[in-house]
Amino acid sequence: MLKRLLLGAAAVLAVLVLVLAVKAALFTSVQLEPQPTEKIAIDADAAAARLAKATTFKTISHQIPWEFRGSEFTEFHAWLAEAFPQVHAALQREAVNDYSLLYTWKGSEPDLPPVLLLAHMDVVPVDAGSAEGWTHPPFDGVVADGRVWGRGSLDDKCSVIGLLETTEALLKSGWQPRRTLYFCFGHDEEIGGANGAGKIAALLAERGIKAWFSLDEGSAIVEGVLPGIDTPVALIATGEKGYVSLELTVMGEGGHSSQPPPQTSIGILAAGIARLEANQFPAAVAGPLAEMFDVVGREMDMPLRGLLANLWLFRPLLQSQLANSDTTNAALRTTTAVTIMEAGTKENVLPIKARAVVNFRILPGDTVAGVIEHTKRVLADDRITVNLVEGSEPDEPSPVSSTDSDSYRLLAQSVRNVHPDFPVGPGMTLGGTDTKHYYGVAENCYRFQPFVLDSADLATIHGTDESILIERYLDGIQLFAEILRNAAG
Ligand SMILES: [Zn+2]
């Protein structure tokens, strides 16, 4: 009897191993075949110097509106015209809402749907006291150790200046687009983009423009970020998370702390917050994340490739592994972050009002309404009122753009042509971008900066020592050129 049981178990195990092996063997590369490409002529030193100069303009987006300095933007605009004379002779440039810029590079076949190249000219401030921590001051535009140092060198002036650098070189070479290209450079992306990208998108819509696709920041060619793969990987983000901040308020009776109720307003609120943190949104390898594993997983080493080939069995294991890191966890679910807590004024006075703010980043598929409903259900306490934070605009998560489109294939093909060894796959943007303003204007929206960024680079975005390797910046210009030629040639 025991022998029969053991034999039966061995047979089941053998079949399982066979299924796993067959699935893994069939999980083969779907990367596009690289095509020959031509390099454009770029003067490396001059290009690096121009990007460095661009970071010296303090085009800062402040949370407090009256700290905004419009002159930094207008001086930046004036310098752009000097630095890129061919661009400014051949393209039409319009200031939108004074500080944003819309460039139109007219194609020879105006009936073709145009392409939107998005980027933003504003940068985040450097926190008071943290400037001393920089190897080179954040607004000095230093070129040293093969890098351009400065606030905005990665986010996102490398895209603004990189696109203009590419265009200047293409114009010098005599190349002209068949399809119209728009460069949409916002001035307030870091505070939501409503006055910049929002106004540009409204203007394009008003003119009846329906674009083929848009390309923005929000992802890149990442190195050392994905496990099981040694080469950099180009992740073209097809979606981005939404955003909502909720205010939780509890009103207490107040009074002397010598005769307290069993729970003060602080205790009620704290218990509610503890329940919210203990009851996170469900995790799932789904949407763009699942698509990424399906495409890029094929390029990974064993045993990871075998695991990803057999998600029918290993999905729970993968999910629990991804949930262990804050970064990958954020790709798995709508996240819950308690960011503000305010209550109490005196040690012997019962608090009247207790207030907390919880910031949620919403996965495509969830909604703002769904987040509010989840929050009320988990709190399960009528004494806690839930409202949208006043003055903070919620954003629904993005629609997910297609990976089975000509425009996605064009981007993937362009990467493969310039970097034949780098795999390309879809991805998702965990933060927010200006793209959210263009859903109605572009058929598909992709987020991809054509630069190689490693995990150390990524840590400097919005942080200390923001800088870009010149070599990688120049490679990015070549990839921009390939994308423009393939999109409009
Ligand atoms: Zn940015």
280-298 per-position pLDDT tens digit: 999 988 899 999 999 999 9
Sorting pLDDT into bands at 50, 70 and 90, what band is 327?
confident
Residue 478 in this model has a pLDDT that exceeds 90: yes
Distance (angstroms) between ligand 1 centre and the Cα of 304 equals 32
Q: How far apart are CA 205 and CA 241, in angstroms?
A: 24
Spell out which residues have Cβ within 5 A of ligand 1, the ion.
Answer: 155-156, 217
Residue 328 near residue 219 (C-beta atoms within 8 A): no
Distance (angstroms) between ligand 1 centre and the Cα of 356 equals 28
Q: Annotated catalytic residue: which of 72, 188, 189, 216?
A: 189
Helix (H, G, I), strand (E, B) or coil at 464: coil
Distance (angstroms) between ligand 1 centre and the Cα of 218 equals 7
Distance (angstroms) between ligand 1 centre and the Cα of 28 equals 35
Amino acid 325: pLDDT = 86
In the structure encoding, which two tokens stand for residue 334, read together?
A: 């709508």
Distance (angstroms) between ligand 1 centre and the Cα of 122 equals 8
Distance (angstroms) between ligand 1 centre and the Cα of 487 equals 23
Domains of the chain as residue ranges with CATH? 44-237+399-488 (3.40.630.10), 239-388 (3.30.70.360)
In the structure encoding, which two tokens stand for residue 442, read together?
A: 């572009």
- What integer is the mean pLDDT of 404-428? 97
Residue 447 in this model has a pLDDT that exceeds 90: yes
Amino acid 255: pLDDT = 87
Distance (angstroms) between ligand 1 centre and the Cα of 139 equals 17
- What integer is the mean pLDDT of 81-97? 98
Sorting pLDDT into bands at 50, 70 and 90, what band is 63?
confident
Distance (angstroms) between ligand 1 centre and the Cα of 190 equals 7
Compute CA 69 distance to the chain's CA centroid, rounded to the nearest angstrom: 26
Amino acid 247: pLDDT = 97
Question: Is pLDDT larger for residue 64 or for residue 401?
Answer: 401
Q: How far apart are CA 288 and CA 393, in angstroms?
A: 25
What does DSSP assign to residue 212? E
Amino acid 321: pLDDT = 86
Bridging pattern class, strands 221-223 and 335-343: unpaired
Q: Which helix (H) or strand (E) holds 103?
A: strand 100-105
Sign of CA dihedral 199, 200, 203, 208: negative
Percent of the chain with pLDDT over 90: 83
Q: What angle do CA 112, 117, 120 make, to 5 degrees?
A: 155
Sorting pLDDT into bands at 50, 70 and 90, what band is 118?
very high
Distance (angstroms) between ligand 1 centre and the Cα of 417 equals 26
- What integer is the mean pLDDT of 254-266? 92
Q: How many helices (H) and strands (E) would you count in the chain?
A: 15, 17
Distance (angstroms) between ligand 1 centre and the Cα of 461 equals 8
Q: Annotated catalytic residue: which of 72, 122, 165, 299?
A: 122
Residue 171 in this model has a pLDDT that exceeds 90: yes
- Cβ atoms < 10 Å from Cβ of 356: 22
User: 43: cis peptide before it, omega within 30°?
Assistant: no
Sorting pLDDT into bands at 50, 70 and 90, what band is 1?
confident
Q: How far apart are CA 218 and CA 434, in angstroms?
A: 9
Amino acid 91: pLDDT = 98
Q: Which helix (H) or strand (E) holds 292?
A: helix 287-296
Catalytic status, residue 189: yes
pLDDT tens figures, 334-387: 999 999 999 999 999 999 999 999 999 999 999 999 999 999 999 999 999 999
Percent of the chain with pLDDT over 70: 100
Catalytic status, residue 75: no
Residue 224 near residue 454 (C-beta atoms within 8 A): yes
